[in-house]
Amino acid sequence: MGIHILPDTVVARIAAGEVVERPASVVKELVENAIDAGADDIRVECLESGKRLIRVTDNGSGIRADEAALAFQHHATSKLRDAEDLSHIRSLGFRGEALASIAAVSQVTCVTRHREENSGTLLRLDGGKITHQERVGRPPGTTVTVEHLFAHVPARLKFLKSNQTERSHIDNLVTRYALAYPHIRFTLIHEGRVYFQSAGSGQLRDVLVAAFGGEEAAQMVPIASDPLATITVSGFASLPSLDHANRSRILLFVNGRPVQDTRLAFAVIQAYHTLLTTGRYPVAVVLVQLPPEEVDVNVHPAKAEVRFRDADAVFSAVQRSVRRALLDHLQPPEAPSALPEAWRAQLAATSPAAPTDAQPASPLQPQAQPPIPGSERWERVGIARQSSSGRWSLPAAPAPPSPAASSSSLPALRILGQLATTYILAEGPEGLYLIDQHAAHERILWERAMAQLDLGQVPSQALLDPIPVTVPVSSAHLLETHLETLRAIGFEIERFGNNTFLVRSVPAIMFQDDIAAAIREIVADLEEGDAVLQRDVEAKVLRRVCKRMAIKAGRVLSLAEMQALVRDLEQCESPRTCPHGRPTMIHISVATLANEFKR
């Protein structure tokens, strides 16, 4: 095959592949055009997660009638004049490729009117070619409707993800632009229903409430830096009381442009050094402003990556600003106790007499602790037994294990005591066992819950008053999709507003839990998307429930409680690990001890 020039239609579709990767790419380009046009009201409508239809309507300046057709030509733009302009780009778009690329792979209808003209223009394009053009009446602004995305490149459709995934990308994108431009009113509609709407008040906290919910927004503090500095940092960062399982809630913006920058995200994480538990990440909206000539946005066609002339200075500015915001709002720590909790408990236990009404309690004597969630009277900890037929049944009350009937892989253990209010010391015929009380209780609750699920007998507790829970916009449809699955394990949840839900019932084991926090954690788990089958989703949710309700480290246990816990652990099918795979115990053999003592 000899060398030849590709037809224009092929060139257009190849170029479109760099700009239009998925439905969210179309939304991104059209929203950016609307923002650059000075709109303060932008409406995004989608059908079938954007695969069938995407419509973006704005009240910006519009396109002049004699330039409407030109706007859909490759490299046609009003934002650049020459190469010099590339060094100080202030607009979001500048390549002049977006509209041409979108039109090349779909059917497009554009209705626009420039604010200085008396009538508007309607254009229809199919495969990048204009099929119809006429003058129409409409208010100033632009509406672009994109239908049957990738209709001319059907192979691309095969590489799109599920509707839920594609929809989540759109939701995240619209939410980010709403956070970057709080003065613009954004409305997001899926299948004719409003899922997100910002007020356009100009207050970033108002957008945080709409995007994440009032409870999360209340736990975020403002970020501010010297307004006269070359590099300014603003936004909001979560207090240590609000965290997330991954970095997806660290949202970064440079000169109003949402960006993905690993180093800037690490700067935010570094600002939380010693403030967050290992493996947990903050929630932050960080907006960086610096002179356009100090940042290169012409790195990738999607414009999601940037390069800084002085990356170290930007890193330092972000880290300092976020850290200062946290330290300014953190409460000073309480004065440390003279004695550790465990010592005070031991002193109280050996006290000769309890104080009377006339004799106030000693400050060293511990106050009565609330019952352990999920283990009141320890009948609640009793797990399901498995009969010889392989079917699960629930005992009326836990009974001491019978060596002949038990399928436990653990020997009978004798409790010696508790170490650091976290580990149970037990002696067995094979040596010493150190049992993590939290991991052990988590395993017990997990096997009980799974047995109840198999029997269809997961007990549910109705709440006296429904609890409203607001989740991120991108998670609302995800939660709605799994409502029936959650119902099977004891939750009764219904939609209440855009991204707010009412929780009416929860699994009985959760009756003492922080329900709103639990639902947000469950949603975060579901966002990971590694559970496909209903059974996998149920198991993932129950793992989170059991983790929250298991005894925590630092809880002082009585001898009877430790004995009950170990007894039930012995009856588990997999007693040596928790549901997440972490070990429940460490075994030190007698031989190892003898060797250490040089016997």
Q: What is the per-residue pLDDT for 119?
A: 94
Q: Could you tell me if 191 and 241 lie in one domain? A: no
For tokens 């706007």, the residue is: 71
Tokens linked to 206: 């108002």
Whole-angstrom Cα distance, residue 419 to residue 370?
Answer: 21
- Judge if 234 and 88 occupy the same domain: no
d(CA 109, CA 50): 15
Q: pLDDT in tens for each of the 599 residues of the chain? A: 567 665 666 665 555 556 788 999 999 999 999 999 999 999 999 999 999 999 999 999 999 999 999 988 876 666 555 455 555 566 676 556 788 889 888 999 999 999 999 999 999 999 889 999 999 999 999 999 999 998 877 777 778 888 888 999 999 999 999 999 999 999 999 999 999 999 999 999 999 999 998 888 999 999 998 888 899 999 999 999 898 888 989 999 999 999 988 999 999 999 998 888 888 899 999 999 999 888 887 666 556 678 899 999 999 999 999 999 998 888 655 544 444 454 445 445 544 444 444 444 433 343 444 444 433 433 433 433 333 333 344 444 334 444 433 334 678 889 999 999 999 999 988 889 999 999 999 999 999 998 888 888 888 999 989 999 998 888 888 888 899 989 989 999 998 888 899 999 999 988 788 898 899 889 988 888 666 678 888 888 999 999 999 999 889 999 999 999 999 998 898 898 999 888 999 999 988 988 889 88
- In this predicted structure, what is the pLDDT of residue 301? 58
Does residue 207 sit within a domain?
Answer: no
Report whether 100 contacts 73 (CB < 8 A). Answer: yes
Both 147 and 249 in one domain: the answer is no
Q: How far apart are CA 230 and CA 75, in angstroms?
A: 32
Residue 425 sits in the same domain as residue 567? yes
**pLDDT, position 76:** 64
- Of the residues 329, 351, 380, which one is the last residue of a structural domain? 329
Residue with tokens 């119809």: 132
Structure pTM? Answer: 0.74
For residue 541, give the H/E element and its range.
helix 534-549
Please give the C-alpha separations between residue 23 and each of 48, 75, 186, 214, in angstroms, as whole numbers: 10, 21, 18, 30
Instruction: Note whether residue 114 is domain-resident.
Output: yes
- DSSP-assigned letters across all residues of 377-401: GGTTTPPPEE-TTS-EE--SS--PP
CATH number for position 379: 3.30.1540.20
Pairing of strands 185-190, 41-47: parallel
> Does residue 460 fall inside a structural domain?
yes
Pairing type for strands 431-436 and 414-419 reads unpaired
Task: Round to whole Å and give the CA distance between 91 and 29.
Answer: 12
Looking at residue 18, which CATH number applies to its domain? 3.30.565.10
Q: Which helix (H) or strand (E) holds 172?
A: helix 163-180
Measured distance CA(343)–CA(341) in Å, rounded: 5
Nearest-angstrom CA–CA distance, 323 and 272: 7
Report how far apart, in Å, the C-alpha atoms of 473 and of each of 198, 523, 527 are.
11, 11, 12
The number of domains in the chain is 3
Domain limit, last residue, from 329, 353, 386: 329
The tokens describing 281, both together, are 């990440």
Q: Is residue 268 part of a domain?
A: yes
- The answer on 17 and 126 residing in a single domain is yes
**310 and 413 fall within a common domain:** no
Q: Comparing C-alpha atoms, which of 104, 99, 125 is closest to residue 7?
A: 104
Q: Within this chain, do residues 193 and 318 fall inside the same structural domain, yes or no?
A: no
**Of the residues 271, 302, 329, which one is the last residue of a structural domain?**
329
User: What are the Cα distances from residue 239, in Å, to 48, 100, 173, 491?
Assistant: 37, 45, 24, 29
Are 137 and 237 contained in the same domain? no
Task: Please report whether residue 484 resides in a domain.
Answer: yes
Residue 272 phi, psi (nearest 5): -100, 15
Rounded CA separation 411/566 (Å): 11
Map tokens 């309480």 to a residue: 334
What is d(CA 230, CA 213) in angstroms, rounded to the nearest whole number?
A: 33
**Closest C-alpha to 121, from 169, 69, 70:** 69
Asked if residue 176 belongs to a domain, the reply is: yes
Same domain flag for 191 and 125 = yes
Same domain, yes or no: 165 and 60: yes
CATH of the domain at 256: 3.30.230.10
Residues 185 and 41 both lie in one domain = yes
Contact between 69 and 135 (Cβ < 8 Å): no
188: containing domain: 8-201
Is residue 583 included in any domain, yes or no?
yes
Residue 513's identity, in one-letter code, is D
> Do 226 and 177 have their domain in common?
no
319 within domain boundaries? yes
- Residue 75 structure tokens: 């490299």
